[in-house]
Structure 1
Amino acid sequence: MIREAIDQANIQRTDLVAQFIRVLMESVRVGLKQSDLVAVVQY
């Protein structure tokens, strides 16, 4: 029971990380298109 809950939490966390990385890559790609990468890096 507890192990199942931990597995579920790990799966949810992995999904969250994957989603975060996708958003991050997307914003980097948009930033490159706008040539605002320098501003992004400074933050």
Structure 2
Amino acid sequence: MIAGVCAALANRFGLSKGLVRFGFVLFGLFGVGELVYIILWIMIPKEG
């Protein structure tokens, strides 16, 4: 919702956006979700 990272991952792997977002919330509870999100935000190309 912020940078489109979850939506891009969901589209790429054919998963639901809600499932991917839920996964990031779970990873966030363990402290790695935020770091991975920021890295992917930088790495994923902008939609044209």
Please tell me the TM-score bracket, short chain as reference.
0.3 to 0.5
Q: Which has the larger radius of gyration?
A: 1
Normalised by the length of structure 1, the TM-score is: 0.41
More helix by share: 1
Normalised by the length of structure 2, the TM-score is: 0.38
Q: Higher relative contact order by CA 8 Å / sep ≥ 6: 1 or 2?
A: 2
